[in-house]
């Protein structure tokens, strides 16, 4: 069936050249968040023209301005985690614009972020590590806060991550790794079933199946 897409509007008031990453607030919200190359976060209301709701310069005295490489809201839409090219993560309260926490789980660009309602922030980086930080349990606001858990052993960068119940599922170079309280397991994708490189990864909310997207344009469901 042919799908016709309708042009809605352009937020022309703001320079889009430095826009690096976008994410949306949870379902029922009309706002999207933009991260830029000059450490700026903007929230846009899609219902109005040039509808910027809030704008923040996400930088602290602890570190110079960096490029926002990854962005993710928590499931309640109350806070957002921004990952920088320096490997740092800044957590911001979307309701009042207050910086709630900052930590540095990586040494290189942050590539993926997943947030949970409990305050767990799962991150991956070009340094081939996956980290977990429980920022709500941290006693101090410091960029030097180390992650609570760090998973190593990846040969290449992590292409994608998703949460499935209590399990964290990652994909790196055709290898699917499940990190769970019961233990870790790794499965290699068969080349005859999955062609091309993994470019996207998510979980279908309807049947809880893992969806993989490839750079060849195909989709695969994993149970």
Q: How far apart are CA 122 and CA 182, in angstroms?
A: 18
Residue 71: predicted pLDDT: 92
Tokens describing residue 197: 């490189």
Residue 138: predicted pLDDT: 63
Q: How far apart are CA 86 and CA 102, in angstroms?
A: 12
Residue 201: predicted pLDDT: 82
Helix (H/G/I), strand (E/B), else coil: 184: strand
Q: How far apart are CA 25 and CA 28, in angstroms?
A: 8
* Averaged pLDDT, groups of 10, the chain, 223 residues long: 53 63 82 86 79 73 71 90 89 86 86 87 87 74 65 76 85 81 80 76 82 81 78
| Predicted TM-score (pTM) above 0.95 | no
Residue 113: predicted pLDDT: 92
The number of beta carbons lying within 10 Å of the beta carbon of residue 11 is 18
Residue 2: predicted pLDDT: 47
């Amino acid at each position: 069936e042919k799908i016709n897409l309708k042009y809605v509007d352009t937020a022309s008031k703001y320079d889009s050249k430095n826009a690096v990453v976008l994410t949306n607030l949870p379902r029922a919200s009309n706002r999207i968040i933009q991260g830029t190359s000059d450490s700026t976060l903007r929230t846009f209301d899609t219902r109005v023209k040039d509808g910027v709701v809030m704008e923040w310069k996400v930088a602290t005295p602890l570190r110079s301005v960096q490029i926002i490489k990854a962005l993710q809201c928590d499931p309640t839409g109350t806070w957002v985690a921004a990952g920088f090219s320096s490997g740092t993560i800044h957590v911001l309260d979307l309701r009042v614009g207050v910086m709630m926490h900052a930590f540095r789980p990586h040494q290189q660009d942050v590539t993926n972020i997943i947030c949970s309602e409990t305050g767990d922030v799962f991150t991956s980086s070009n340094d081939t590590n996956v980290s977990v930080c429980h920022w709500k349990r941290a006693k101090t606001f410091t960029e030097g806060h180390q992650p609570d858990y760090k998973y190593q052993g990846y040969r290449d960068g992590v292409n994608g991550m998703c949460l499935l119940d209590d399990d964290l599922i990652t994909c790196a170079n055709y290898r699917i790794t499940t990190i769970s309280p019961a233990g870790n397991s790794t499965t290699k994708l068969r080349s005859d079933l999955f062609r091309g490189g993994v470019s996207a990864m998510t979980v279908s909310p309807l049947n809880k199946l893992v969806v993989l997207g490839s750079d060849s344009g195909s989709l695969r469901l994993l149970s």
